[in-house]
């Protein structure tokens, strides 16, 4: 929980971190709550927002709902009321996120390339094509964090590319590396990915091509187009 005493500090905080919910007072110094919400929504920040307001501010709240407010609580209020409103908003948001994420992951699972999502220093999703490439189960791939399958001489290069992308130094990355299937077969893989946001947090969405299987450059480009990775990244970000 982060407390800000004025609207400018609150706006700055949103640039420096991610939040699950905003609890805004309408009448605060520097930037009022209404203007703050307008700035947030203009920046495509769809974080659930609850206003705290006095009865005389109800007319102003009409504009707030137009700008994207989710709920409001009138003063004076008790903390149980606030907690109940927060829990309700968070539950609704989680339900929407779960429905959207399951749909998009089903779409990811139907592509011609292997796809994985890397977030919070771990693999959080792999599609069936990636499992086929490595010849292992989802649990085995996630437990090794993918890096266990990569040739030891190429592992640091892949990790560094992904780290630089997560830090925002690179907007996207592409790396070719050697790996080994669970059954011992050697692989030559090409991986490209980009930074996105899922559930309001930074994540990498990456595609993997088995060069042994698809040596044709034209086919790789076709597969990349079919995967529609830029489209999928935008959709997953919208669900966050």
pLDDT in tens, 138-195: 889 888 888 999 999 999 999 999 999 888 888 788 889 999 999 999 999 988 888 8
| 2-35: pLDDT as tens digits | 788 787 888 878 777 777 778 777 778 788 777 8
Closest CA to 114 of 106, 105, 123, 126: 126
Say what the pTM is: 0.50
For residue 228, the model assigns a pLDDT of 46
| The two three-digit tokens of residue 39, written as one number | 């700035």
Pick from 180-189, 193-202, 221-230: least confident = 221-230
DSSP3 helix / strand / coil % (the chain, rounded to 5): 50, 25, 30
């Amino acid at each position: 929980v982060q407390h800000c005493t004025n609207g400018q500090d609150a706006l700055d905080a949103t640039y420096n971190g991610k939040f699950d919910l905003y609890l805004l007072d309408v009448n605060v110094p520097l930037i009022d709550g209404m203007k703050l919400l307008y700035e947030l929504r203009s920046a495509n920040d769809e974080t659930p927002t609850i206003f705290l307001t006095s009865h005389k501010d109800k007319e102003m709240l009409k504009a707030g709902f137009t700008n994207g407010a989710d709920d409001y609580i009138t003063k004076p209020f008790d903390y149980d009321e606030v907690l109940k409103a927060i829990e309700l908003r968070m539950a609704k948001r989680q339900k929407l996120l779960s429905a959207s994420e399951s749909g998009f992951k089903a779409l990811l699972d139907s592509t011609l390339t292997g796809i994985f999502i890397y977030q919070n220093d771990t693999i959080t999703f792999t599609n069936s094509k990636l499992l086929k490439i490595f010849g292992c189960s989802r649990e085995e791939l996630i437990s090794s964090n993918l890096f266990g399958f990569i040739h030891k001489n190429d592992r640091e290069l892949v990790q560094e590319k992904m780290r630089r992308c997560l830090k925002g130094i690179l907007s996207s990355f592409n790396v070719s590396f050697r790996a080994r299937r669970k059954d011992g077969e050697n692989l030559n893989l090409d991986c490209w990915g980009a930074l996105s946001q899922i559930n309001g947090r930074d994540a990498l969405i990456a595609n993997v091509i088995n060069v042994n299987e698809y040596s044709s450059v034209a086919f790789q480009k076709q597969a990349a187009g079919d995967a529609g990775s830029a489209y999928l990244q935008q959709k997953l970000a919208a669900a966050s």
